[in-house]
Structure formats: structure tokens, C-alpha cells
Structure 1
Amino acid sequence: MKWLDRLPWVPLSIGALLLGLAPFVPEPHLWEKLKMLSDGTLERPIDIFDLVMHGTPVVLLALKAGARVIRP
């Protein structure tokens, strides 16, 4: 996973925070979409796209951190 190693920590962390928490009011999109996913109401394509868009930086950050723990 060389491509994951080449991703810089700081921009990935900032992107994960900003996209993971945006919009801040009334509740973050990522949280809203995860609740919809758990309720089984995540059906519209725009909602699925929102989940992917807001969740991708968070997932990449978790993968990068997990790879760092597994192979220091």
C-alpha cells in the first residue's frame, strides 16, 4: 500500500475533520448519513454520495493509522 504511505498526514487529517464534521449545524452530514444507514433509510443516490464524500477522508485516515500500527 505505497499509495497510502504517500498520503500526507496533515492534509488528510484536516480533510477528515472538515468533511467529517461539515456542516456543523444542525448536525454533521456524516453523522446524519450513518444514522440513516443504521435505520435503513439511506436510499437516495444523493445521500449515498454524501456518505461516500464525507466518509472517504475519515476512512483513509483510519487505514493510514492502522497501517502505521501494523507495520511501524
Structure 2
Amino acid sequence: MTVLDNLSWPVVILLCVVLGGAPFVPEPHLVEKLRMLGQGTLTRPMDILDLAMHGAPFALLVAKIVRVARR
């Protein structure tokens, strides 16, 4: 079994909501960083790391969906 198989769906979804949405006010970091990426202003290493950290749960979710779909 892989790590993806051992993670339950509620845990992965909770990670997406909490880490992907943090901080919730005034706007989630993920939304801000994706906007910066689209505008071409995502240049500072801290901003790139922020995008990676807040986007990681969604990458995990996509990997889990692909793994289940291939079975």
C-alpha cells in the first residue's frame, strides 16, 4: 500500500479546506498566489514557497483521485 491509500478522504479534504484556505480573511493565500502567478508577479522565493505549501493539499487530492480512478 502507498501513502495515498492510507490517507482517508476526510483527512485529505480537511487538509484542502484548512491549509488551502488559510488564512481565510481577507483572502486565502492560495487565491492570492495564483493571482500573482497569472499576473506574472510571483517572483519572490517566499511567495513561490507559499504557493507550494498552500497548494500541496490539492496536489495530494488530485493524486489520490487519479490513483482511485486507475484501479
TM-score range, shorter chain: 0.7 to 0.9
Structure-2 residue corresponding to 1:58? 58
Q: How many residues align?
A: 71
State yes or no: 1:46 paired with 2:46: yes
Structure-2 residue corresponding to 1:68? 68
Deviation at 1:2, TM superposition (A): 2.4
2:41 alignment partner, SS class = coil
TM-score, scaled relative to structure 1: 0.86
Q: Percent identity?
A: 54
Structure 2 unaligned residues grouped into runs of 5+: none
State yes or no: 1:2 paired with 2:7: no
1:47 alignment partner, SS class = helix
> CA offsets, 1:16-58, max 9 Å, x none?
1111111111111001101111111111111011101100011
TM-score, scaled relative to structure 2: 0.87
